[in-house]
Chains A and B, each alone.
Chain A
Amino acid sequence: MNASPDPGPALLEVRGLSKSFGALQALQEVDFTLRAGEIHALLGENGAGKSTLVKVVTGVFDRDTGIVRLDGTEVVARSARAALDAGIATVYQEVNLLPNLSVAQNLYLGRQPTRFGLVRDAEMRRRATALLAEFDLHIDVAAPLGSYSVAVQHITAIARAVDLSARVLILDEPTASLDRHEVEILFAVVRKLAARGIGVLFVTHFLDQVYEICDRITVLRNGRLMGERTTAELPRIELIRMMLGRELAETTSARAAERARPVRQVCARFEGYGKAGYLSPFDLVLHHGEVVGLAGLLGSGRTETARLVFGAERADSGRALVEGQPVRLQSPRDAVAHGFGYCPEERKIDGIIAELTVRENIVLALQAKRGLARPLSRSEQDEIAARFIKLLDIRPPEPERPIGLLSGGNQQKALLARWLATAPRLLVLDEPTRGIDVGAHAEIIRLIRALCDDGLALLVISSELDEIVTYSDRVIVLRDRAHVDQLQGDAIDVSNILAAIAAGSVVGAETVQP
């Protein structure tokens, strides 16, 4: 499949790699080649085997069969430490450094320059400053790492990894929590490293970024190699076909026709709802069968709106009405009793209970709603779990598997199932497609539409404006912890939303709240 005119010598070679977890074949006879000085994208859907490949190469997992060679010599890494010593460094999405220590301390942790057994702080700071200057990063290295942006933290992690004489740098979803400008800074660093002859493996699900920075692309699907191409020779539609094996029909096409819906019944209404120091009071009306999108930058008050609506934070002003009746939303328990559901942004921290099975995770909210005295029998639980595993195509379709072992997209589907099982009237989805690959992404968007057609009211938060434009009947724009604008009908498009985020008023400014 390799059609590229070879630019550099092979640096990291993987041949015939297989890995299975029990009955699940995670990787099957996968070949992969990373050349010196190239930026190489590793793409695939959830469960395609990207993480497994990275973890085998970096020594987190043992391999069943196959060879990993670095510069022609076989590498047998039994731990992440051994891989690092061999010259393979990895930077994960969640930076695993120590935010309370200074940048310099983080860079030289465990190998501080010493004299007579004492750490030479000044020397360490000097070296750290010089090291970061190579990456055009001029910051005070004595300040705690946590006081800097995520991008700076990422670059610090990369600088640390590369300074440990790395030949191969693996970046696992490094841009997921970065904004546009931060991504630019990171990419500049990555390009500089590639120019120095380091092979960079870039795992991501942002296709735009792949086309922006990567030289070559390797695609995995269901644990098998689908092919390796040069980016320039691979049109996007072809790439998506390689990843999905099916056309990704009209995921991003607008649905202007559907927007001309009749006015529907009010599901929930919030009047002057807010909490001092948390979110300015807002008015919000949610109709049955309507998707309301919340758009805004990180920290603009989107998640805060969701938590107030769901009772996870207590409002100190305004009132809430459900089906016209005033209600008190003092806790998630109250909200669930009124037929609300909430899929939080931080799936692993706020969503799944990793140790429990898929079945138990799915029935949890319904059981909590029914109360202690009315337990769901095991056969009822089995039936509910089986129904939603089939409906949402949760894979692997094993209700008794601990949910922590599922991929992110499937965990998200199981969380959706948890709420759908309660037959809710309002569902709040906070970044439902974050960290999820194209395939599951499209499925979740299809689901959002289907749910809305069934009469559910949906309040959806997303950073991806294309996505919001696709499914929203109304878009509320937030800025600085306040609802500042509302877009409806044909006014909903990406440029209008961007303008509203920037200026705070475009059209429909009558909904602005103080």
Chain B
Amino acid sequence: MTFSLQRRGLAQIIALLVILAVDRIVSPQFFDLRLQDGRLFGSLIDVLNRGAPVALLSLGMVLVIATRGIDLSVGAVMAISGAIAASLADSHGVPLAIAVALGAGLLCGLWNGFLVAVLGIQPIVATLILMVAGRGIAQLITEGRIVTFTAPDFVWLGNGAVLGVPVPVVIVLGMLVITGAVVRGSALGLLIEATGGNARASELAGIGTRAMILAVYVWCGLCAALAGVIAAADIMGADANNAGLWLELDAILAVVIGGTSLFGGRFSLVLAMVGALIIQAMNTGILLSGYPPEFNLVVKAAVVLIVLLLQSPRLASAGAALWRARS
């Protein structure tokens, strides 16, 4: 029962279905799929493909938030890893480039985790440091230019397909399975939820809360680095100014839409993924509808509000009372 969708996931699933239905109205071809050169194409595939970076970020973010933390630096970490991978890909080979990029992500996570778990700095402040500094580091790596590359193996990561499914989607699914297996297959999930629910009590129950908090930030850094690699592969270059810009907010939003409280405790990996899909389905729908993209932000805000209202226990009880009063 690794990925059981509990009743609490209902609001998210309904929201996703409603948004997909609206997408279908604004764009009648939304659900059309076609196979071309061994790869599936279509708006639905676009949603999955474009949503991959935020989905990866949410996968790390959900664990961090479950420990009652937050990681604001993931967008900057994307920029760093993208810059490293793009700079090294043509000169040192793709495997090494990606390994170094992912290693940088691990280091970034270690830094955040050190500040939070060992020095006890508040997560929002601790990760703000790297959020600001990280983009500067990325610009130093690219020397302020947009670094492009041509290594076909790298380009494949962004544009290739496995059995018709785009590679970024495959990577997200792979990471979801790995994270799920690690978190729910071991005792980590329970211990993370305990730490997020009550860190003092967890410490007194003999849980090594520091090591665990360190570990979730490291994992979050790794996920962010992977997202950065995919984003670079997608545009065949690294743009230190814009890669992953504001995506940390989308990732936090995806986690919150997925029902994980910013106060820590209970979390759901799968629902965080659904949250990421909800965000991307909206983005894609607005693009397809032909409205100017500026609307995107406003519509996004409205939809987020609705999803959060659907989850609100206070609203639910008020609604139930209203229902009783009518009948």
Q: Which residues of A contact B (CB under 8 A)?
A: 310, 312, 331-333, 335-337, 342, 344, 349-356, 360, 363-365, 367-376, 378, 418
B266 touches A (CB below 8 Å)? yes
Further 7 A-B residue pairs, CB within 8 A, beyond A350-B201, A350-B204: A333-B206, A351-B204, A353-B197, A353-B265, A354-B197, A355-B266, A364-B202
Which residues of the other chain, A, contact B1 by a CB distance below 8 angstroms?
378
Closest 9 CB pairs of A and B: A336-B206, A375-B187, A353-B197, A368-B206, A353-B198, A368-B207, A355-B197, A365-B205, A355-B265
B93 touches A (CB below 8 Å)? no
Q: How far is the CA of A325 from the CA of B230 in the complex (A)?
A: 54
Which residues of the other chain, B, contact A370 by a CB distance below 8 angstroms?
187
* Chain A nearest Cβ from B23, distance in angstroms: 35
Q: How far is the CA of A367 from the CA of B188 in the complex (A)?
A: 10
Using A333-B207, A365-B206, A367-B187 as known contacts, say yes or no to A351 and B201 having CB atoms under 8 A apart: yes
Q: Secondary structure of the B side of the interface?
A: helix
Which residues of the other chain, A, contact B204 by a CB distance below 8 angstroms?
310, 312, 332, 342, 344, 350-351
Which residues of the other chain, B, contact A364 by a CB distance below 8 angstroms?
190-191, 194, 202, 205, 207
Q: Is the Cβ of B203 less than 8 Å from the Cβ of A332?
A: yes
7 contacts between A and B (CB under 8 A): A355-B197, A355-B265, A360-B190, A360-B194, A365-B205, A368-B191, A370-B187
Q: Is the Cβ of A368 less than 8 Å from the Cβ of B197?
A: no
Q: Mark B175-217 against chain A: 1 for CB-CB distance below 8 A, else 0.
A: 0000000000111101101100110111111111000000000
Q: Is the Cβ of B187 less than 8 Å from the Cβ of A353?
A: no
Q: How far is the CA of A349 from the CA of B199 in the complex (A)?
A: 9
* Chain B nearest Cβ from A42, distance in angstroms: 28
Which of A332, A349, A350, A373 contacts B206, CB < 8 Å? A332
Q: How far is the CA of A186 from the CA of B10 in the complex (A)?
A: 52
Which residues of the other chain, B, contact A418 by a CB distance below 8 angstroms?
205
* Chain A nearest Cβ from B4, distance in angstroms: 11
Using A332-B204, A356-B193, A368-B206 as known contacts, say yes or no to A375 and B198 having CB atoms under 8 A apart: no
* Chain A nearest Cβ from B313, distance in angstroms: 13
* Chain B nearest Cβ from A267, distance in angstroms: 18
What total of chain B residues lie within 8 Å of the partner, measured CB to CB? Answer: 22
Which residues of the other chain, B, contact A378 by a CB distance below 8 angstroms?
1
Q: How far is the CA of A378 from the CA of B185 in the complex (A)?
A: 11
Q: How far is the CA of A392 from the CA of B164 in the complex (A)?
A: 57
Across the two chains, which residue of chain B brings its CB closest to A419? B205
Q: Which residues of B contact A (CB under 8 A)?
A: 1, 185-188, 190-191, 193-194, 197-198, 200-208, 265-266
Q: How far is the CA of A368 from the CA of B208 in the complex (A)?
A: 8
* Chain A nearest Cβ from B142, distance in angstroms: 39
* Chain A nearest Cβ from B134, distance in angstroms: 29
Q: How far is the CA of A337 from the CA of B191 in the complex (A)?
A: 16
Q: How far is the CA of A373 from the CA of B194 in the complex (A)?
A: 17
Using A332-B203, A342-B204 as known contacts, say yes or no to A372 and B197 having CB atoms under 8 A apart: no
* Chain B nearest Cβ from A411, distance in angstroms: 11
Q: How far is the CA of A373 from the CA of B1 in the complex (A)?
A: 18
Across the two chains, which residue of chain A brings its CB closest to B199? A353
Q: How far is the CA of A351 from the CA of B201 in the complex (A)?
A: 5
Q: How far is the CA of A350 from the CA of B191 in the complex (A)?
A: 16
Which residues of the other chain, B, contact A331 by a CB distance below 8 angstroms?
203, 208
Which residues of the other chain, A, contact B186 by a CB distance below 8 angstroms?
372-373, 375
Which residues of the other chain, B, contact A333 by a CB distance below 8 angstroms?
206-208
Q: How far is the CA of A337 from the CA of B208 in the complex (A)?
A: 12
Across the two chains, which residue of chain A brings its CB closest to B265? A355
* Chain B nearest Cβ from A60, distance in angstroms: 14
Q: How far is the CA of A68 from the CA of B202 in the complex (A)?
A: 42
Q: How far is the CA of A37 from the CA of B23 in the complex (A)?
A: 69
Q: How far is the CA of A335 from the CA of B204 in the complex (A)?
A: 10
Q: How far is the CA of A370 from the CA of B188 in the complex (A)?
A: 12
Q: Is the Cβ of A349 less than 8 Å from the Cβ of B191?
A: no
Q: How far is the CA of A418 from the CA of B187 in the complex (A)?
A: 16
Using A332-B206, A333-B206 as known contacts, say yes or no to A367 and B190 having CB atoms under 8 A apart: yes
Which of B197, B203, B206 contacts A356, CB < 8 Å? B197
Which residues of the other chain, B, contact A352 by a CB distance below 8 angstroms?
198, 201
Using A353-B197, A354-B197, A355-B197 as known contacts, say yes or no to A332 and B205 having CB atoms under 8 A apart: yes
Q: How far is the CA of A353 from the CA of B201 in the complex (A)?
A: 7
Q: Is the Cβ of B187 less than 8 Å from the Cβ of A372?
A: yes
Which of A349, A363, A372, A374 contacts B201, CB < 8 Å? A349
Across the two chains, which residue of chain A brings its CB closest to B188? A372
Which residues of the other chain, B, contact A363 by a CB distance below 8 angstroms?
190
**Of listed B190, B198, B201, residue having the most chain A CB within 10 A:** B201
Q: How far is the CA of A342 from the CA of B204 in the complex (A)?
A: 8
Which residues of the other chain, A, contact B193 by a CB distance below 8 angstroms?
353, 355-356, 360
Which residues of the other chain, B, contact A365 by a CB distance below 8 angstroms?
205-206
